[in-house]
Structures are given as C-alpha cells and as structure tokens.
A and B are shown apart, each in its own frame.
Chain A
Amino acid sequence: MLAYAFRRLIGAFPVLLLVSLLAFGLIHIIPGDAAQVIAGPDASTDQIEAVRSTLGLNRPLPEQFIIWFSNLMRLDLGMSYMLGRSVAQAIAERFPVTFLLTLYSLVLTVPVGVIAGLLAAYKHNRWADTALMTAALVGVSLPTFWLSLMAVLLFSVQLGWLPSGGYVPLSESVIGCLRSLTLPAVALAVFQIALLARMTRATTLEVLQQDYVRTARAKGAAERTVVARHALANVLIPVVTVIGIIINVALSGAVVIEQIFSLPGVGQLVVQGILRRDYPVIQGSLLAVALLMVIVNLLVDLLYSYLDPRVKHD
C-alpha cells in the first residue's frame, strides 16, 4: 500500500506537468492578453507592445513556458500582473476562503447525506424512502446558482437574517465568518446532500441484496446487525468515491457561488484571472487546485483499495 501510494505520488508529477501544459495552452488560445488589458481598450498598438515587452509577453510561447516552469521548479509561481503580489501569496490569501466553504458544506453534507441514504435504503419502498428520495430528487434538480439567488432573496432581502455577500475572515470574527459562509455553504450543500443520499441508498440496496448479506440474514442475524456490520462497511466505498466527486463539485460550484456571494476565494481568483488575462495567476491557481484534486483522488483510491480488498494495488 505504501509503495503504491509512493508510486502514485511520483505518478502525480506527469499529471501536474500535463495540467500546467494544458492550462498554459488553454489560456494562450484565449484571445486578448494581459498587456492589452493593462493598456486598455483604446490603447494604440505601440502602447500594447510596450506593456507586452515590460511583462515579457513578447517572448516566444515555448520560452515563456520554460521560464515559468523553471521558476516553478524552484517553487516560485511568479508575480501576478495585476494584483501587486506574488501568485503564491494571492493563493495563500484566497485558499482559506474556498477551503472553509468546501469544509463547511462537506460537514453539512456527509452526515445528512449518509443518514438520509441509509434510512431510505433500510426503509426501502416505504413512505420514509419515498419522502427522502423525492426531496433528494428535487435537491439534485435545482440549479445551484438559481437556488443561491432565491436564497439571497429570501434570507437577505426579505428576512434580513444573513449577509447577501462578502466575507469576514476567521481571524476577525468566528461568528461573522460562519455567518458570511452559511448561505453559500447551504446553497452548495443542498445539491451534494441529495447526490450523496441517492448514491448511498443505491449502493446500500445493492449490498443488501448481495449473497453474503442474504446469507447473514438467512442465518438469522438481526436486520439491524446485517445493515450495520455488512452493509455499512461496503457503503463506505461509494461514499468515499462520492466525496472525491463532491470536492470537485464543491470547487466547481465555488466558481459560481463565490461570484454570487462575492467571496474572495480561489474560484474568484481564477475567474478574475481569466477576465484580466493574468496568466501567472491562472496557471498558479489552476495548478494549486489540480494538486489538491490529485491528492484527493489519490486518497480516494487508497481508501477504496483499503475498504474493498478485491481492488488490489500491487
């Protein structure tokens, strides 16, 4: 297992190289560059060219990539063109917001989603199952940003309970921070809870009908013991897979959620970076996010093989 983890970590480097190449290629296909953004829409060609040379954007693309990559090898992500700080610092400032938001929504999601899913499976075809699954269906059917707009309408405009946007750092006020993240976290969690409940129920039902569970049941084990001992252990497999997916979904959803609720997170950093053609910021933050996802995926795979002995990594 350790050897496998180590191999995967080594294997992550080509992935990250691929990611940076992909990101680098992608952002340079996007029309317009940072020089033009800085020089402004009514700048002359000479002005744009002057800014371009200041930023080093007039060098050939491969050279730019090599410069960027060799800096990366020294763990230097470079300076933002616009933010007046290093990319590493910008990421370090933004990351806690996205991390807290994701964590907050995961903390809401996992217990609620798992319990709802297990309950629905356990009460298969009974009213609790129907009610829970109907709610879950509605939950996965609502557009997250639409739900967010409606939530702002209800909780901020009508009731005035929670702020409509903005972020209070944890260091300034714990309560304030939680208040500023509650609406976005709930808006994100609704979809995730529904997703997790559905997946949990589906797998639990599958497991409950598998041979060894039926054998256990036939042997006269109490239903609750059957569910607890056999089903639950197996249910962890999809749960782990789903959590991996959920972190992806949460980071994705964060792009929209951070926009609506004006949270200075990594999603905003990327979107603003694209909008300003701030290449070092886009590359750096995409790489950071990618690194995080690679680690999450690796952990998921490791847990997966730990939980399911049939999947061997040797």
Chain B
Amino acid sequence: MLDMTRRNMLQRASAGLAAGALGVPSGLMAQTPQPKKGGNASVAMSAATETVDPHFSRSQVARNVLMHMCETLVTIDERGSPQLQLAEKLDISPDSRVFTFALRKGVPFHNGKEMTADDAKRSLERYARVSPERSRLANVDRMTTPDRHTLIVELKSSTPSWIELIKSPASPMTIIPSEECDKEANKVLPISTGPYSFVDWDGVTRLRGKRFADYAPNKAYAGRDGYGGARTAYFDEIAFAVVAEASARVAGLQSGQFDILDELPVQAADRLGKDSQFKIYDQKTRGINVVPVNVQKSPTDKILVRRAIQIALDDEEIMGIATEGAFSLNPSFVYKDSEFYPANASDLVYNRKDQARAKALLAEAGYKDEELVILTSGDIPSLREVAVVMSEQLKAVGMKVRLDVMDWPGANARRNDPTTHNLFSTAYAIQPLLGPFQYQRLVSGAGNWSFYKEDEDMETAWRRLLAATSAADQKKAWQDIETRLNSQVYQLKMGDRSVKQAAKASIQNFKPYDGVRLWDIWKA
C-alpha cells in the first residue's frame, strides 16, 4: 500500500502547480502592471519577534519576519497542507517508517555555499537539540546521507502523520549551513536559502533584510503558495518595524513611513478603505478564540455547570466585540474550508444564548455562588475582551465571576496550574490552519489543557487518528474528537478571528496569509 500522505502530497503539488498557473488570470494581468524589481518595503507590526534563530523561534510574529529568509524540507501551502520546499521528492516506505528526501540541487545559502544533504542532516540535528518543538523529532532513529542530495530519515516506529509534524512553520525546521549547526540555542542568525537575506535586527523595534540575488526559486511550482511555491523577491530591501500603538501604525501608513500594516483596527480600516491611496485586506486565518475549561476546579468540575456555561454563551456578541466585527462563527477547531471540517458541525452546542436553560442546568447542578475564575492576558486585547464579555454573560445567568488578568507569560504559567482558574481565555494561532494533528497535546494525554484525568473515548479517537492511513478514517476520527470536546465541554470554541491589514495602493499582488509575505508582491 502506498502511503496516502505521499500520494496526497503529490496531488497537492500538482494542484498547487495548476492553481499557480491559474493564480494570475489573464484579465487581471492586463490590469495590474507587470511585476518589477526594486524599491523598499516597510511593514509595521504590533509586536517584536522573540528571536531570529529560526530553530528557536515559535511565534506568529517570528514567522512574519523569518519566513522571508528561511526554507524547510517541507512547508505548508495556502490551506495549511504539507508541500515540498527544499526537497524535490519524498518517498515514504509502506510502513511509514523511512522517509527519503531527494533534495533540490543548486540551491545556495545566503552565505554563498550550496545546500547539501549534510546541511539538512546537521540542521535537523541542531533542531532536535535546541528547538522548543524538538519533540517533533523525538521519534527519529537515525539519519543518513547516502549522497550529496539525499537525506534518509528512519523513525523508531511507524508514523503516518510525521509529515504533519515537520511541516509546521511554528518553529520551522529551517535548513541552515552545517557550520552554523554547532551553535547554541538563540545564537544562529537566519542564514538559509530564502528569497531575502537577513541584514540586522536591533532586538526590539526594527529588523531588516535585502533581496537575495542568487535565490533559487522552486521551479516545481508556478507561483507562491502558502509559505512555499515558487517565491520571487521584488523589493531591494525589506524592513519590519514594531509599532505597539495601533493609532501610531495607522499614522505611519498615512504619513508614508510604512507600506504595509498588520493588525489594523477595524474602525481605521473602514476609514482608510475610503481613501484610494490605500487598500484594505482581510486576513481570515489569523487564529481562533478558545476557552479551555478546567474540569478539576470547582465549580467547573461538574459537567452540568460546564454545560450551563456552554449553552449560556452568546458567541456572536463575544466575537463581535473582541474582533470589532471581523469574525466568523464556527464551532469547529479547524477552518471551514479544511478537509477535516466535521460533518456534524451544526449539531455541536455553540452560540445558543439560552439563558433559561443555563439557569435550569445551574440549579440542577446545585450551583450556589461558587466563584468562577476566568484567567486571561491583558497583553492581547481580544483575549481580554472575550473574557470580559463572557463574564458579563455568565453573571447574567447568576454566576459569580472573577477575572484574573496577567501578562502573557504570567497567564500561561498560571494556565499550567489547575488550582488557579476555571476558564482560560486564549487563542490558537496556527493550529486551525495546520489541522488536527497539532491539537494532540492540548486535548489528550497527561498534559491536556482541561486537566481531565482519564477519558478513554478521547484517547481511542486520537489513536485512530494517528494510525489512520486514509483521508476518510482521519476525518472520522477527528470528528469524534471534536464531538467529544464539545459534549464534555473540555474546550469552548468562540469563533474564528480575522485581522485587517492595509497596504499602500501601489503595493501589487498582496494576498493575506498566516504571515505577511513580501515575496511575489511589488510596487507599481
């Protein structure tokens, strides 16, 4: 039996090719000016990357900047599915244990050296040593390089979903020159094979890059596709500025200081949208708002109380306020266009706004004024806003609610402690794009975020998902997981959040994605 993952990937590669070819319709070609090289682009973001060491990074802001410089063996396409990048071919043994990567030839690093299998091997070894996501490689038994352009990875056990683990751009498995690979965590600069090379970073407010003249685009594709495809850099220099104040970002765009803005307030987007100098974009896969429910601490240790909370919530109001109206309602933990979107989504308990039923459930549970603690972080306004609106809705059905607002690391530290909170208002950024496999440690096993001790139904469903070798089986298993999450009220899904982005009208061919992409766009 040929592995489905590989078959899917080949299909996807050709689909990507076709889509790429169709990507620029002829009518549009006539309208938009031809791509031209030159000029600079400056992006204003709300937060700084935590590091420039690709193996050490993990955040969305890090991807925003590092994906311009970094490339991986496997990356993700527009829908979040795996796609080959520095590998031109991947063979997977029938037992899903041996992965043979045929690397592309003639791909230079920013330092001028040509990439070889040795670089790839050493990079993965460093990743396994320093990355916060090193567990993705925990199952690797050994790696060998029979020739300059072949890397064979043997796993300790059969893992059909291994590609799903290594595709993630959150802490990307970036291929860097082998001589960099002995350096400690956080000591490596993003020297890789991407379309832009790294220039400098002041650690806080500004990171710069420049076009990599010798960049070798992936000719297997016709155009950009997710973080992969054939990438073309047009700008001479790129800069990422961190501007924490939204109003200052807007002022900077208006004064010409910036070309592209991330995280634009909706109000400002409406205003700028009326100005022909600017274009507004919707980034619809920015993340989902979720609230893990602690099943250990009273009162949410009672399933009836959890159900009362679930049925009381008006998710439309919560998301409407937390996103300034830029959201879509969705009970699932994957996006609606995902191949994993559960068929029974409309049956899940979500956005019911049923106060009477909630009160009845609370009465049935014998709830009497026990304090419900909602933990959240003030650093990310939308998380705090979800918590505030939710707390008002729960007060309306007679619950006693307290908000515990910490900074982001503080909130996450407290999240780990089941004695501190009942609900945690947070968000998953890339998980819904990457699909089910990313959720494993959040909703199953000993470290699950709901602190449930045993749930055989859930664990069985996960085993089925991981062992599944057909798309239908995977889909069925994931649907069971989502259904279980919903019926046990382990996690409350609030909705899908989109983000407004703005660019000068002169910026051509911009398309929102997980990160801001400065390749395949140019200035008219």
Contact = CB atoms under 8 A, between A and B. Distances in A.
Chain A partners chain B: yes
Interface of A: 30-33, 36-47, 50-51, 54, 80-85, 90, 93-94, 149, 152-153, 156-157, 160, 163-167, 259-264, 268-269, 272, 274-277
Contacts of A264: 202-206
B244 A259 contact: yes
- The CB with the most chain A CB atoms within 10 A, among B132, B134, B257, is that of B132
Given A44-B447, A260-B248, A165 B413 contact: no
Given A31-B410, A165-B248, A277-B409, A41 B241 contact: no
A67 B82 CA distance: 45
B7 interface: no
A44 B412 contact: no
Given A31-B410, A275-B379, A38 B257 contact: no
A54 B184 CA distance: 9
Given A264-B204, A272-B204, A275-B379, A47 B186 contact: no
Contacts, number: 148
A50 B447 CA distance: 16
Contact of B252 (A46, A50, A90, A165): A165
B425 interface: no
A45 to B, nearest CB: 6
B355 interface: no
Contacts of A32: 406-407, 409-414
Contact of B447 (A33, A45, A262): A45
B53 A42 contact: no
B186 A50 contact: no
B243 A165 contact: yes
Which of the four size classes fits the interface of chain B? 35 or more
A82 B53 CA distance: 9
Contacts of B2: none
Nearest to B255: A160
Nearest to B413: A32
Nearest to A41: B412
B50 A37 contact: yes
A42 B443 CA distance: 11
B230 interface: no
A277 B413 CA distance: 12
B53 A84 contact: yes
Given A84-B203, A164-B255, A262 B243 contact: yes
A287 B204 CA distance: 20
Given A31-B410, A264-B205, A277-B409, A41 B248 contact: no
A166 B241 contact: yes
Given A156-B248, A163-B257, 15 more contacts: A36-B413, A39-B132, A41-B408, A51-B132, A153-B247, A157-B254, A164-B247, A164-B255, A166-B206, A261-B248, A264-B206, A268-B204, A274-B407, A276-B50, A276-B409
A223 to B, nearest CB: 49
A188 to B, nearest CB: 16
A276 B133 CA distance: 18
Given A32-B412, A36-B412, A157-B254, A262 B247 contact: no
Nearest to A169: B202
Interface in B175-201: 185-187, 189, 201
Contacts of B428: 42
Contacts of B22: none
Contacts of B203: 80, 83-85, 90, 93, 264
Contacts of A275: 379, 407-409
B129 to A, nearest CB: 9
A84 B50 CA distance: 10
B134 A50 contact: yes
Contacts of B442: 42
Nearest to A262: B243
B50 A38 contact: yes
Nearest to A162: B255
B410 A30 contact: yes
B437 to A, nearest CB: 13
A165 B245 contact: yes
23 contacts: A31-B410, A31-B414, A32-B406, A32-B412, A32-B413, A36-B409, A37-B50, A38-B51, A41-B408, A45-B416, A82-B186, A84-B186, A84-B203, A93-B202, A93-B203, A153-B247, A157-B247, A160-B254, A166-B205, A166-B252, A259-B245, A264-B203, A264-B204
Interface in B86-100: none
Contacts of B349: none
Contacts of B221: none
Contacts of B247: 149, 152-153, 157, 164
Interface string B394-406: 0000000000001
Nearest to A163: B257
Nearest to A158: B251
A272 B48 contact: yes
Contacts of A276: 50, 409
B252 A163 contact: yes
Contacts of A272: 48, 204
Interface string B34-63: 000000000000001011110010110000
B409 A269 contact: no
Contacts of A164: 243, 247-248, 251-252, 255, 257
A60 to B, nearest CB: 19
A261 to B, nearest CB: 7
A152 B251 contact: yes
Contacts of A42: 428, 441-442
Interface in B416-464: 416, 426, 428, 441-442, 447
Contacts of B56: 38
B245 A40 contact: no
Contacts of A260: 244-245, 248
Contacts of A274: 407
Contacts of B58: 38-40
Contacts of A269: 204
A261 B245 CA distance: 8
A258 to B, nearest CB: 9
Given A82-B50, A157-B254, A260-B248, A54 B413 contact: no
Interface in B231-257: 241-245, 247-248, 250-252, 254-255, 257
B19 interface: no
B493 interface: no
